[in-house]
Chains A and B, each alone.
Chain A
Amino acid sequence: MNIVVLVKQVPDSGTERQLDSSDNTVARASADNVINEMDEYAIEEALTVKESQGGEVTVLTVGPDGATDAIRKALSMGADKAVHVSDEAIHGSCAVQTSAVIAAALSQLEYDLVICGAESTDGRVSVMPALLSERLGIPHLSGARKLTVDGSTLKVERQTDGGFWALEAQTPAIVSTWDTINEPRYPSFKGIMAAKKKPVETKSLADLGVDAGTVGLATATSQVLDFAGRPPKGEGVKVTDEGDGAEKLVGFLASQKLV
C-alpha cells in the first residue's frame, strides 16, 4: 500500500507566534518552525500501516525552503521519501489555492492512501482533506481516531463528541487523523542518519503544471484585513467568601457562560 502523508511546517504553537504586519500572513521566517503537531500522528499512522501492509510512505510538503527541517524529521521517523513543493508564488495562498497545489502534486504520485492531520495549528481552517477529496474525487474519511486496513477496504472510527461513527471506503482515499489515533514515535539516531540519504524531490509550480497566477496572496479567496494581539490578562476577579462564596462563584461562572 503506497501512502502519501501530508506534512506542514508551522510556527511552534508553544511559542509566541506572530503575523507579518506587511501583508498579514503568518510570520514564518522569524518563527521557531516545527512539524504541525497533528501531522506527527498522521506520519505515525502511515508508518504503522506500512509496517503491516508493505509499500512506501512519501511525505508531501508545500512550504518555503526552510520546511526541509520538517521533511527531515518525518524521514527520520521512518518515511521513505519526500516531495517538497516550494515556490515563491505560493506565499500567502488561501486553503483553496493550496489544495490545488497539493492536488496537482498528488496526481503526479502513485498512492492508495493519503493521510493528513485533521488541522494545522497555524491556519486552523481544517478543510484541507475535504478540499482534496473534492478535487481528486476520492472519499474522505475524516477525523479518525482509529484506522484499519483490510485489503483495499479502509475502516475508520470517526471521533465525535459523544462517541464515534464507523466509516468505510475503498482505496484510494484520504484519511484525516486526530491526536487520539496513536502515540507518534520518536525518530531514532539511526533514522536521523538514514534520513540524510533518502530522496527529497523539490518541485516548483511549473513542475506541477500550476499557473503561478492562480495562487498567492493577490488572488487568494480570503484575506486577512486586520489583526490585533490578544488583550493582556486582566486583574481577574477576586471572590471574597462571606458565607456566600459558592453562590458568588456559580454566578461568576454563569456570567462568563462557562456553566
Chain B
Amino acid sequence: MRASLVMSRRDLDFLLHEWLQVEQLTKRERFAAHDRGTFDAVIDLAAEIAVEHFAPHNRAADEHEPHVVDGKVVLVPEVAAALKVFGEAGLTAGTLPEELGGLQLPQVVSKAATVWFQAANVGSSAYPFLTMANAHLLLAHGSQEQIDTYVRPMAEGRWFGTMALSEPQAGSSLADITTRAERQEDGSYRLTGTKMWISGGDHELSENIVHLVLAKVPGGPAGVKGISLFVVPKFLPEGDGIGERNDVVLAGLNHKMGYRGTTNTLLNFGEGVHRPGGRPGAVGWLVGEENRGLAAMFHMMNEARVGVGLGATALGYTGYLHALDYARTRTQGRPPAGKDPLAPPVPIVEHSDVKRMLLAAKSYVEGGLALGLYCAKLVDEEQTAETPEERTAAHTLLEVLTPIAKSWPSQWGLVADDLAIQVHGGYGYTRDFPVEQFYRDNRLNPIHEGTAGIQGLDLLGRKVVAGGGEGLRLLATTIGATTARAAGTEWADLAADVDAAVARVGEVTATLWGAGDPDVALANATVYLEAVGHVVVAWLWLEQVLAAGDADGDFYAGKRAAARYFQRYELPRTGPQLDLLASLDRTTLDADPGWL
C-alpha cells in the first residue's frame, strides 16, 4: 500500500474489515449489490481523487480567502475543478438509493471514503458534504416532488445545498430564531430574515444553491415548537433547470481562522433585492409539517454530528501522519545516556518524549476513527438490521454515543494537531509546514453543529436520562460484552479498568440526578462529556486490540502500544473528573459573573 500523509488506508482496512467486518452488511438487501471489491474500489477512488485533486490546493484556498467581486464570490479556480471531478465520479450520490442514481453504499463505507477528503482539504470538501446532508434530509422529510426537483440535481452534482439554521442572535439557542415564513395562497411561503454563518451560502460553483432554512410561521407556538423547515433555492426551479432569481442575497462573507476554502455567509432573505413573481420575499416551500422543522433537522443530526467528529479525526489524523514523517527525518539531540558530543544526532522519533507525543496523537486519531466508523455502522444498523429489536437497539446506542462522536474527536483531534505542531518544533509554527493550517481548520469543530458545551448538556441532560436511562444501560452492556471477551487475555487489565470506569460513570450519573437540582447536575456537563468520552474510547481501544489478536508486525504492535498508552496516560484522567462530578461541585455554578 502506497503510504500517504493524508490518511492511513491500512488503518481503514483494519477497522472496516478486521474489526467491523463490514462485508457482512452485503448480506442485507439494501447492500446486496456490493462486495469487498466495490467497497475497496470506492475507497481507492476517493483516496485517488482526494490526493490528486483536493490536497494540492489546500494551502492555496487557505491563503486566498473567498472574496466578493461585483456581487459574486471568487474562489481559487482549483476548488471548482476539484468539485467537478468529485461530481463526475458520482461521489455525491454514494449513499443515496439506486433510483436517484445512488450507489446504496453503507454509511460506514461512505464515511471511510469521506475522511480522505476531510483530511486532504476540508474547505473544498465541505461543499459536497453539505449537499449530501441536505439531500438526505429532503429524502427523509421532503415530498416526492421536492425529491425529484432538488435531490436529483444535487445527486448529479449540478446543484449544491446548505443548512441555514443559525442567525446572528441565535446560534446555540435556535428557539430564538426570528426568520419568518408567511403562508401564501398557492401553498408556498415567503421568507424574511437574516441567517448567519451559512457555509456554502453563496458561490458560483454550481447552477443553483438549495438552502434548507429554519423559520417560524407567524401564529405558531413559541420556542422550538414553532420552528418549521423550508426549502429555499437561490434560483427557482423551472423544468429541469433554473428560472427566476429568488430573493436570497449575500450580505457578506465571514473571515475565518480556518476552513477558509468554504465560503461562510451572512444571507438576507426577503429584502426585496430580487422580486420573484413581481414582489419581494424569498419563495420557499415547506418540508414536512409546519412546526415540525427542528424535529426533521434533528432526525439527520446523528449522521451529521458523526460526520463532524470524523472530520475532526481526519484533520487530526493527517496532522499525526505529517508529524510522524517529520520526526523520522528530523535529527536533533542524542539519547540521555549517550554522552559523546561527537556522536551524530538521532532522528527525534527516537526520543521518548517525542514518542509520547506521537503515541498520544495516534491514540486520539485512531481512537477517533474507530469511534466515528463504529457510529456510522450504527446508522446502517439502525436502518437495515434484521430485526426491529436490533434496529431499535442500534438507534438507542447511537443516540447516546452521538454527542461523544461529535465532541470527543473535536477536542482530541485538535490536540493531535497541536501535538503535530509541537513535534515540528519551530517549523510547525510557520506557514512552510501544513500542520498549523490543520490546527486552524480543526478549531472549528468544537464550535459548529452544537458547541462542546451544548453536546455536554445533550449527553447528560437528555441522552443518559432518556427512556429511564436505557441508553446508558445499553452502552454499559455493550461495553461489558467486550470486556468479557478480554478475560484471560493479556488485555484483562485494560478490560478491568474499563469495567471499573463504566461502573463509576453509572454511579456518578445517578448521584448527579439524584440531587434533584438540574442546575447542579448540569453545571459540569462538559466535564461529564469529556470523562464519558474517554471511557468510550478506552473501550474502543480494547475492541481494536482484541480484533488485532496476536497478529505480528509493526501495524499490530502499534495498535497494542497505542492501547497501552491510552490505558496508562489517558483513561486515568477520568478518575478526578468523575470524583469532581460526584462531589456535586458548585464552583462554576456559584461563581458570580461579576467576579470573572
- Interface, chain A (partner B; CB < 8 A): 12, 14-15, 32, 69, 72-73, 76, 186-190, 192-193, 195-196
Contacts and interface: CB of A to CB of B under 8 A. Distances in A.
Interface residues on B, range: 20 to 34
Contacts of B48: 186
A12 B2 contact: yes
Given A186-B48, A189-B42, A189-B103, A196 B89 contact: no
Interface in B380-399: none
8 contacts: A32-B2, A69-B37, A72-B41, A187-B89, A188-B89, A189-B89, A189-B93, A192-B38
B85 interface: yes
A186 B49 contact: yes
B148 interface: no
B2 A193 contact: no
Given A188-B89, A189-B103, A192-B38, 7 more contacts: A15-B1, A69-B37, A69-B40, A186-B48, A186-B85, A186-B88, A189-B45
Given A186-B45, A186-B49, A188-B88, A72 B2 contact: no
- The winner among B41, B44, B49, B88 for most chain A CB atoms within 10 A is B41
B114 to A, nearest CB: 13
A196 B38 contact: yes
Contacts of B35: 196
B26 to A, nearest CB: 11
Contact of A193 (B1, B38, B44, B49): B38
B2 A188 contact: no
B340 to A, nearest CB: 19
| 8 closest cross-chain pairs (CB), A and B | A189-B90, A192-B41, A14-B2, A188-B90, A189-B103, A188-B89, A32-B1, A186-B89
A186 B49 CA distance: 8
Nearest to A72: B37
A195 B40 CA distance: 13
B94 interface: yes
A73 B49 contact: no
Contact of A190 (B1, B3, B85, B90): B90
Interface in B445-460: none
B45 A192 contact: yes
Contacts of A193: 33, 38, 103
Contacts of A14: 2
Contacts, number: 51
A186 B90 CA distance: 11
B331 to A, nearest CB: 14
B contact face: mostly helix, strand, loop, or mixed: helix
Interface of B: 1-3, 33, 35, 37-38, 40-42, 44-45, 48-49, 85, 88-91, 93-94, 101, 103
B42 A192 contact: yes
Contacts of B41: 72-73, 76, 187, 192, 195
Contacts of B91: 189
Contacts of B44: 73
Contacts of A195: 41
Contacts of B45: 186-187, 189, 192
A15 B90 CA distance: 29
Contacts of B2: 12, 14-15, 32
Contacts of A69: 37, 40
Contacts of B85: 186
A32 B3 CA distance: 11
A55 to B, nearest CB: 24
Nearest to B92: A189
Contacts of B90: 188-190
B510 to A, nearest CB: 48
A196 B33 contact: yes
Contacts of B89: 186-189
A189 B93 CA distance: 9
B93 to A, nearest CB: 7
Given A186-B85, A186-B89, A196 B49 contact: no
Nearest to A68: B37
A73 B42 CA distance: 11
Nearest to B101: A190
A32 B37 CA distance: 15
A2 to B, nearest CB: 26
B129 to A, nearest CB: 16
Contacts of A190: 90, 101, 103
A192 B101 CA distance: 13
Contacts of A192: 38, 41-42, 45, 103
B127 to A, nearest CB: 18
Nearest to B1: A32
Contacts of B101: 190
A196 B85 CA distance: 23
Nearest to B48: A186
A189 B94 contact: yes
Contacts of B3: 15
A14 B40 CA distance: 19
Nearest to B103: A189
Nearest to B38: A192
A187 B3 CA distance: 21
B287 to A, nearest CB: 27
B485 to A, nearest CB: 31
A134 B510 CA distance: 84
A196 B42 contact: no
Contacts of A196: 33, 35, 37-38
Contacts of A189: 42, 45, 89-91, 93-94, 103
Nearest to A14: B2
B579 to A, nearest CB: 49
A91 B235 CA distance: 62
Contacts of B42: 189, 192
A88 B16 CA distance: 32
A12 B48 CA distance: 14
B32 to A, nearest CB: 11
B13 to A, nearest CB: 12
A72 B39 CA distance: 13
Nearest to B104: A193
Nearest to B85: A186
Contacts of B103: 189-190, 192-193
Contacts of A12: 1-2
Contacts of A15: 1-3
A199 to B, nearest CB: 16
Contacts of B33: 193, 196
